[in-house]
Amino acid sequence: MPELTRRRALTAAAALAAAAGVQTLVAPGASAAGHSHEGSLEPFDEVYKGRRIQGRPAGTGDMDAMAGMDGMAGMGGHHHGHGTGYAVFVDGVELHVMRNADGSWISVVSHYDPVATPRAAARAAVDELQGAALLPFPAN
Amino acid sequence: MTVRKNQASLTADEKRRFVAAVIELKRSGRYDDFVRTHNAFIMSDTDDSERTGHRSPSFLPWHRRFLLDFEQALQSVDSSVALPYWDWSADRTVRAALWAPDFLGGTGRSSDGRVTDGPFAAAGGNWPVNVRVDGRTYLRRSLGTSVRELPSRAEVDSVLSMATYDMAPWNSASDGFRNHLEGWRGVNLHNRVHVWVGGQMATGVSPNDPVFWLHHAFIDKLWARWQRRHPEAAYVPGGGTPDVVDLDETMKPWNDVRPADLLDHTRFYTFDTLEA
């Protein structure tokens, strides 16, 4: 079953990413990619209310810098083709986020309430989830 | 002809029939297809590329057609049922009859947001949340928590007074009636109501809460009121707009219906009352 395979892969990728640690994740190349966008598109990686939230630019051609997270992003078959250019993860599971024209952000679990940055969207998602596991999208 | 009524004026029998038809659609699996479709559009409609269901001029005709599909599905179960609407500018507290156990049930408990009364409470066994973005399978709400106040009549009126349907860049940054009604700009009507209800209603899978339909039936009614108030104003854009559904272009996912086909609601249903 593809879903189980993907879950296993996600778990493995998350473990790798965790082992590699923050220093590896926020590699110089990734930071440079972040700075090439205006404003809020820098990577982040923190534990918020007991859950690991991560964000990074996506589709910038700088994938190698964050191999573990790239693995996660690539596995789902989802492409950030609608121009978000940024991927957010909660405990290693990708959270669908979207940038509004005014630069604010929303996510699929807090869709009608824009916040200023992808990190704020990730934190709002953790608040909304109340400890529940995020499901890989698309949900079905 | 279908008559859409204010939920506050429904009889006990009308409420019972509406709830029974909704639960039958859930039982048969047809309900969840609506949730799935909505979330697919939520995730793909974006400000700088193709946008159809949301953050675009076709927000209103898209949801009009989406509600027509749902209403027809309900009527295939019970032909007497019509979609009621929730005027949240009038019935604006958690004590409204809308949230009583004989209709939609009330707010969620504080610990986990779980709705514990009414026909859609998880304990009743009739309302599994299957199309979801997280692991929780029970209906959740948190009425009035994330935002304190529902929009007021004065705020509704201020948006109805806007004479232009929509404006370039035809997205969440637009000025004009559509985007102020949708809520990405200004006093915020439609979006704020989703946030006020909380739970699944605040997410891309918002149709998991049956109040989704009553909320959108009122948004749809506000479009009809706006047309009556501005008879000279038209749906725009009229043609040739990249990524945006023009007046005579077909809309996904149906591909056989245009905004032009949906401007006159009286082809499909009327309202109990329609003030300007």
pLDDT for the residue numbered A51 = 98
User: What would the two tokens of residue B159 be?
Assistant: 């948006």
**Is it the case that residue B254 has pLDDT exceeding 60?**
yes
**Is it the case that residue B261 has pLDDT exceeding 90?**
yes
Q: Which residue of A has its CA nearest to B190?
A: A112
Q: How many H helices and E strands in chain A?
A: 4, 7
pLDDT for the residue numbered A59 = 65
Q: pLDDT-based confidence at A1, cuts 50/70/90? A: very low
A113:B202 CB<8 A: yes
> What average pLDDT does range A33-40 have in this prediction?
42
The helix-helix angle for B12-28 and B59-77 (nearest 10°) equals 90
Cα B127 → chain centroid: 19
B133:A112 CB<8 A: no
Which three-class secondary structure string do you get for B208-274? HCCHHHHHHHHHHHHHHHHHHHCCCCCCCCCCCCCCCCCCCCCCCCCCCCCHHHHCCHHHCEEECCC
Which tops the pLDDT comparison, A23 or B234? B234
ipTM of the complex: 0.95
pLDDT for the residue numbered B16 = 98
- In tens, the pLDDT along B71-120 reads 999 999 999 999 999 999 999 999 999 999 999 999 999 999 999 999 99
Q: pLDDT-based confidence at A40, cuts 50/70/90? A: low
Quote the mean pLDDT of chain B. 98
Chains A, B: CB contacts within 8 A come to 91
Q: Cβ(A98)–Cβ(B55) under 8 Å?
A: no
Q: 10 Å Cβ neighbour count for B276?
A: 11
The C-alpha of B167 sits at a distance from chain A's nearest C-alpha, in angstroms, of: 14
Q: pLDDT-based confidence at A85, cuts 50/70/90? A: confident
B173:A101 CB<8 A: yes
Q: pLDDT-based confidence at A29, cuts 50/70/90? A: very low
- In tens, the pLDDT along B16-27 reads 999 999 999 999
The C-alpha of B130 sits at a distance from chain A's nearest C-alpha, in angstroms, of: 7
Which of A84, A100, A139 minimises the CB distance to B39?
Answer: A139
3-class SS of residue A77: coil
> What average pLDDT does range A36-65 have in this prediction?
75
Q: pLDDT-based confidence at A41, cuts 50/70/90? A: confident
B135:A132 CB<8 A: yes
pLDDT for the residue numbered B126 = 98
Q: Cβ(B104)–Cβ(B237) under 8 Å?
A: no
**Is it the case that residue A34 has pLDDT exceeding 50?**
no
A124 phi/psi in degrees, rounded to 5: -60, -35
Q: pLDDT-based confidence at A25, cuts 50/70/90? A: very low
- Looking at residue B109, the DSSP 8-state letter turns out to be P
Cis upstream peptide for B207 (omega within 30°): no
Model-level pTM? 0.87
Q: pLDDT-based confidence at A126, cuts 50/70/90? A: very high
**Is it the case that residue A27 has pLDDT exceeding 70?**
no
pLDDT for the residue numbered A84 = 65
**Rounded to an integer, what distance in angstroms lies between the CA atom of residue B245 and that of residue B274?**
27
Q: What is the DSSP string of B69-98?
A: HHHHHHHHH-TT----B--TTTS-STTSGG
Cα→Cα distances B48→A86, A121, A133, B62, B163, Å: 15, 19, 30, 19, 25
Strands B2-4 and B269-271 come out as parallel
**Rounded to an integer, what distance in angstroms lies between the CA atom of residue B257 and that of residue B251?**
6
Given CB atoms, is A11 within the 8 Å cutoff of chain B?
Answer: no
Q: Which residue of B has its CA nearest to A102?
A: B173
3-class SS of residue B118: coil
pLDDT for the residue numbered A72 = 35
- In tens, the pLDDT along B188-229 reads 999 999 999 999 999 999 999 999 999 999 999 999 999 999
Which of A82, A110, A129 minimises the CB distance to B44?
Answer: A82
Which tops the pLDDT comparison, B4 or A79? B4
Given CB atoms, is B172 within the 8 Å cutoff of chain A?
Answer: yes
